[in-house]
Chain A
């Protein structure tokens, strides 16, 4: 069985006038099913670009990216949309819920685009909401919920389509530390249930909660291994300085 995520020599190059900016400078990364990986890096390190490519929001300039064994490097806009819909669940820093839709409709959104019937959308959305303990809020608008609750709704949305990979982009960034810890506990539980989770963060103390850490600096991977082996994580007291 092929690895879930397989990136080989990925380059992402932007052109700013005459100068080339190598956002990703030859990254190779493999993630197996059931892993809990944190991609750590400072702002500007290329970790967001890396996430965009793993999340099929962007395609690499060079290199091959296989998701579930399929090379998606040359996929079109619509094909990428379908891959995102079926294989990926996103959790964003700003929750990114649609304010005019109810909690239930927000959770059902990927199912709507996935072509599920109305009934199935409802059943699956409710199941996902139950998992995050918010099925009682199904008919509420996102703005009627607290930040932590909204983030749980967005986790439910990410889970609803039963994706292969859950991508969490700074999931605790907009939350206070207590709710942030709750969300992290939640992600750890999801991992225990067998989900593959890729966490993108600049915060070493958050990254330390993953099993494996991939550290990116200047578009290159400088460390890839178990959380315990990462020197910087080991010196967590200096974590705050990572903020750019």
Chain B
């Protein structure tokens, strides 16, 4: 008996009771849909998180020194020297000094509160691949002389000066700074975006903060492969300088992305496992209906057996029927899953398209469930005694 014949037989049997078949499929439809939507949304989320981290630079390594007594520190000169000594692995360094800042354009009424200014070295623009469209970036001489100059993002330029900002004066926490450069627009020039930034020389920032020590550095490794070595070298340096592991942290972006992805993956696994339970319930639903179907069709089975159907024929008839029901449910679930992923993705503003792999796996699982849960009823059908089955009403 050809496999094609089995499928047409299964299809006609399924179509002869559409409502029941649909209700049987519903469990599989919902289960597969839930899996697809969850996987897609989690993938979208992971993608977005990874992108955000990657924008910060995958070769970045942050060093924080937390000894407030300032008896043990890493001085900027030592950091620059260290980079020079380890050119093979570390390409650059910039101290980073964060200050919260209230910005006010001198001679204008607009004020931006709750912004921040970051003190950096002249190397920072290259490390972060910042492009200056007007004017220039902070230079060594600005750092050396603790100049009150700043480079601002397009958000500040738009908000405070309506665009052309170079040469204008800006008040940061009451002190006058000269705008020497405006950065290229990278996002949409809104508050809190990558365009909402103010850079000043780190020496100036440290002075504003009232501390002379620099507690935070941004290093960049030569490439992604050097990150591990560079991190190890930095750990080694800091242990020598600071003496106690508890007083500093070295965090590289790659391992942060890794642990973040790992966490999101774990979350995805848990969510998919929960969605998987509904697939299991769907499978039990199929088994239930197939058992009812076998009882209802006892006479049919008897007739088929009396005409020479072997156990394998009867079994494959029922297994294929369960498989086909489950596969149709799976396909509907996949289609609905893609639709709902797209809707969910646009609502959350993430790129949530299910991968081909996820679709393939879902389809395989749904087919597998049908076959697995159809097996027991099919076995029962195949074992029926033809005499009893023929007598059955």
B contact set with A: CB distance below 8 Å: 1-2, 5, 12-13, 16, 299-300, 302-313, 386-387, 390
Contact B308 A98 (CB under 8 A): no
Nearest-neighbor residue (CB-CB) of B311 within chain A: A78
Contact B16 A82 (CB under 8 A): no
Contact A58 B307 (CB under 8 A): no
Q: Which residues of B contact A77 (CB under 8 A)?
A: 310-311
Q: Which residues of A contact B304 (CB under 8 A)?
A: 98, 109, 113
Nearest-neighbor residue (CB-CB) of B308 within chain A: A85
Contact B16 A84 (CB under 8 A): no
29 CB-based A-B contacts, threshold 8 Å: A57-B306, A57-B386, A78-B311, A78-B312, A81-B308, A81-B309, A81-B310, A81-B311, A82-B308, A85-B307, A85-B308, A86-B308, A96-B299, A96-B306, A96-B390, A98-B300, A98-B303, A98-B304, A100-B12, A100-B13, A112-B1, A112-B5, A113-B1, A113-B307, A113-B308, A113-B313, A115-B1, A157-B307, A161-B308
Q: Which residues of A contact B307 (CB under 8 A)?
A: 84-85, 90, 109-110, 113, 157
Contact A52 B1 (CB under 8 A): no
Smallest CB separation, A15 vs chain B (Å):
16
Smallest CB separation, B3 vs chain A (Å):
13
CA distance A49 to B16 in the complex (A): 35
Does A114 reach chain B (CB closer than 8 Å)?
yes
Which of B1, B300, B310 makes the CB contact (< 8 A) with A82? B310
Does A118 reach chain B (CB closer than 8 Å)?
yes
Smallest CB separation, B51 vs chain A (Å):
56
Q: Which residues of A contact B312 (CB under 8 A)?
A: 78
CA distance A189 to B306 in the complex (A): 25
CA distance A114 to B1 in the complex (A): 8
Contact B12 A113 (CB under 8 A): no
Q: Which residues of A contact B390 (CB under 8 A)?
A: 57, 92, 96
Q: Which residues of A contact B302 (CB under 8 A)?
A: 96
Smallest CB separation, A70 vs chain B (Å):
16
Q: Which residues of B contact A110 (CB under 8 A)?
A: 307-308
Task: Write out, one digit per residue, whether chain A residues 7-49 have a CB within 8 A of any chain B CB (1) or not (0).
Answer: 0000000000000000000000000000000000000000000
Contact A100 B16 (CB under 8 A): yes
Which of A52, A113, A118 makes the CB contact (< 8 A) with B309? A113
CA distance A113 to B390 in the complex (A): 18
Contact A78 B310 (CB under 8 A): yes
User: Which among B300, B308, B310 has the highest number of chain A CB atoms within 10 Å?
Assistant: B308
Smallest CB separation, B297 vs chain A (Å):
9
Contact A90 B313 (CB under 8 A): no
Smallest CB separation, B248 vs chain A (Å):
76
Q: Which residues of B contact A84 (CB under 8 A)?
A: 306-308
Q: Which residues of B contact A82 (CB under 8 A)?
A: 308, 310
**9 tightest A-B CB contacts, nearest first:** A85-B308, A113-B308, A110-B307, A78-B310, A81-B310, A96-B303, A84-B308, A113-B309, A57-B386
Contact B303 A58 (CB under 8 A): no
Given A57-B386, A98-B300, A118 and B306 touching (CB < 8 A)? no
Task: Write out, one digit per residue, whether chain A residues 103-115 have a CB within 8 A of any chain B CB (1) or not (0).
Answer: 0000001101111
Smallest CB separation, B208 vs chain A (Å):
87
